[in-house]
Amino acid sequence: MYFTDDSLLPENQDPLIITAAPYGPMWLPEDYPTDIDVSWDAQVQKAVDCYNAGATVLHIHVRDPQTGKISKNFNEYNDQIGRLRNAVPKMVLQVGGSISFAPPADGEMAQWQGYDTRHMLTEINPKPDQITVAVGTSQWDITSISSLQDWPDRMANEQTMWAFANMSVDALPDFYIEHLKRLKTAGIQPYFALGHIHGLEIVERLIRRGQYMGPVNGFFSMGGGGTCGVNPFDWMELVRRTPQGSIWTYQTMFRHSYPLAAMMIALGQHTRAGIEENLWDTTPGKRLTSVQMIEKHVRMAKELGRPVATAEEAREIMKLGVTYNSTEETLLALGLPPNRPAGERGFITYPDTTGKVASAYRAGSDGHALAGEY
């Protein structure tokens, strides 16, 4: 983003889009019995409550009421998206992309190859508005910025921390190039899930090489060792490097979520709130529900005079339903320089802004007109 003198004034900022992440796929109901919803009705009602609290994007994971765990059943995803669409018709429905679906019948063996089961997400019916797409395989040690006190009792032990510390997200070109193609065919907007600046670099290359054309929205998932951490200067660098025409949500883990949200609300960026990544208020040991976290973001925005987006505004800001059909169109819409024309030297800009148009006056070595020439 390029900040001009007036960029931080709330009347010039886009309204704040708050993504609700209330389903907590990492937790079991016993980890937070009063805020982890198990029945279909309760999962739907939570979406309504988050919407009423000010969230306009719903990050969805589906919990199987029979087991209390995250569902592996493709049909349950279809049914639940349908229920959510009815209950919160205006909300942007965003499905979390790290899902694999179980074989459909008893004793049937599933030996899907490669990324087949992840690609099945693009076939969900009714369609969600967005599906998150991880780009760039990275280490993801989710214990790195937490202590045992941050975790529910069930997990607060060294063995569990070890297992969590040794994770790495698998997102190779073999996955995301094909997945982006399928999303485009299905008319679902990709929501890029990036861990650090190098993920963003990959997205730009995908665009420059014609492998992705369309609006660029996404989130930075930070705070796992191997991804961007919690150094605010790194957060600032992400804000600085994201293209002018793209829209980003910033998310980290546990109580770091609040200083991050405060910064991003001030900087005109967007936030995510919910128990998926945090169980706490700012005070150690004090629980907060997803709805209360959303309300906190709304209050922070209010203090800074930044309006909270309506669902219609969120759809417009993220250009839902818009698609581009060329590399040039995508780069232009993002405010990125065009690809380098063959043989062109120097930093590339659009032709009518190159500053290379012949000057009416002779210029000195610093580019300024020579004294006496004007």
- Applying CB under 8 A, the span of 33-41, 107-115, 212-220, 254-262 interacting with another protein comes to 107-115
Return left, alpha or beta for 104; rule: phi > 0 is left, psi -120 to 50 is alpha, else beta. Answer: alpha
Helix (H, G, I), strand (E, B) or coil at 64: coil
Q: Which 1-30 residues touch another protein, going by CB under 8 A? A: 25-26
Q: How far is the CB of 114 from another protein (least distance, A)?
A: 9
Distance, CA of 179 to CA of 226 (rounded, Å): 24
* Distance from the Cα of residue 77 to its chain's centroid: 20
Among 7, 39, 86, 100, binds another protein (CB under 8 A): 100
Distance, CA of 275 to CA of 216 (rounded, Å): 26
Q: How far is the CB of 26 from another protein (least distance, A)?
A: 6
Q: How far is the CB of 275 from another protein (least distance, A)?
A: 13
Q: What is the dihedral of CA 266, 268, 274, 275, to 10 degrees?
A: -70
* Distance from the Cα of residue 203 to its chain's centroid: 13
Half-sphere exposure of 187 (CA within 13 A, CB side): 4
Q: How far is the CB of 148 from another protein (least distance, A)?
A: 11
- Residues touching another protein: how many (CB under 8 A)? 40
Distance, CA of 13 to CA of 264 (rounded, Å): 11
* Strand bridging mode 18-20 / 57-60: parallel
Residue 69 or 90: the one with the smaller Cβ distance to another protein is 69
Is residue 19 within 8 A of residue 59, CB to CB? The reply is yes
Is residue 309 within 8 A of residue 15, CB to CB? The reply is yes
- Contact between 153 and another protein by CB under 8 A: the answer reads no
Is residue 93 within 8 A of residue 126, CB to CB? The reply is no
- Contact between 222 and another protein by CB under 8 A: the answer reads no
- Contact between 67 and another protein by CB under 8 A: the answer reads yes
Q: How far is the CB of 33 from another protein (least distance, A)?
A: 18
Q: How far is the CB of 7 from another protein (least distance, A)?
A: 35
- Contact between 155 and another protein by CB under 8 A: the answer reads yes
- Contact between 248 and another protein by CB under 8 A: the answer reads no
Task: Give the contact letters, 321-350, x = binds to another protein (CB under 8 A), - = no.
Answer: ------------------------------
Q: How far is the CB of 96 from another protein (least distance, A)?
A: 8
Alpha-carbon Rg of the chain, whole angstroms?
A: 22
Q: Which 156-175 residues touch another protein, going by CB under 8 A? A: 157-160, 162-164, 166-170
Q: What are the residues binding another protein (CB under 8 A)?
A: 25-26, 61, 66-67, 69-72, 98-112, 117-118, 140, 155, 157-160, 162-164, 166-170
